[in-house]
Amino acid sequence: MPELPEVETVRRGLAPVMEGGTIARAEVNRPDLRWPFPDRMAERLAGQKVTALRRRSKYILADLASGETLLIHLGMSGRMLISGDAQGRFVHDHPAPEKHDHVVLHMADGARITFNDPRRFGAMDLLPTDGAEAHPLLAVLGPEPLGNGFHEEYFVAALKTRTMPAKSALLDQRIVAGLGNIYVCEALFRAGISPKRRVNNLSSARIASLVPIIRDVLGDAIAAGGSSLRDFRQADGELGYFQHNFDVYDREGQPCRRPGCDGIVARVVQSGRSSFYCPRCQR
């Protein structure tokens, strides 16, 4: 499933075409994805100007002039593809419709934005822009790891009394929003913390050190265009390249990349997910 850097990469790819643009017409080609689409979704989107395009955790939020916000979740295989961009920023020609083109937004300037999702684990919803944070999918989320609400004092207070492993704590969306398996593995490696280490046994200084490390890992991934694991694509169809920079993720049995460490990357399963780490230098 795309993680925060991938979703932010898609948002940035969509912004030049959607933000400030008008949805002339919307096609909704099935009644649902992971959940049913909202009533009259095509009618409610038609003619609406997109006043802002933002991200909350792994959700893309398109604020509309109508006072509603279109919430988009990519799921496991969802892609937002741009074609016919009049400004020449993306491929000009509209491709032939595909079987899994479930929602198509026809922009007033001739661009077309297609939500394609073969596995149908994605989602779309319309919600009031005012009070959007109260939506059931958003209300449970912790602070954004790249936002001002995520800082050392908050993180130490949030983790110091918890007995869960470090991997589980960083994946808990109620503690910090948007982190997924890949970038948690990478952040814990850079911090030298074992994914199995219980966070209440970490010093406040070690917990605090994770904050800038998490920001750096996410920043590096966003700058590289996101990871292109499995079905992920950027909005313009190009692949991301951060996977070439993984230090531990999916590197089981390979030498540790930390200078001076002769450890071998190992894999353990925690709550059904693979954790990759170096047993020698991550404690």
Which pair of tokens denotes residue 113? 């934005």
Active-site entry in 44, 267, 273, 280:
273
Instruction: Give the C-alpha distances (Å, rounded to integers) separating 222 from 8, 11, 40, 242, 250.
Output: 7, 11, 35, 8, 19
73, 46 in Cβ contact below 8 A?
Answer: no
Name the nearest CA neighbour of 109 among 42, 17, 14. Answer: 17
In the 8-state DSSP scheme, what is residue 41? H
Is residue 79 marked as binding?
no
Active-site entry in 11, 55, 56, 58:
58
**Active-site residue flag, 2:** yes
Is residue 197 marked as binding?
no
Phi/psi of residue 83, each to 5°?
Answer: -145, 160
For helices 152-159 and 204-223, angle between their N-to-C axes, nearest 10 degrees:
120
End-to-end CA distance of the chain: 28
Active-site entry in 2, 5, 145, 195:
2
**Active-site residue flag, 19:** no
- The owner of tokens 């989602």 is 123
Name the nearest CA neighbour of 109 among 47, 26, 21. Answer: 21
Measured CA to CA, the distance from residue 261 to residue 282 in angstroms comes to: 10
Is residue 30 marked as binding?
no
**Active-site residue flag, 233:** no
Cβ-based neighbour number of residue 92 at 10 Å: 12
Which pair of tokens denotes residue 115? 């939500």
46, 26 in Cβ contact below 8 A?
Answer: yes
Measured CA to CA, the distance from residue 176 to residue 57 in angstroms comes to: 9
Q: Binding site for DNA: which residues?
A: 100, 119, 162
Query: Which residues participate in catalysis according to the annotation?
Result: 2-3, 58, 273
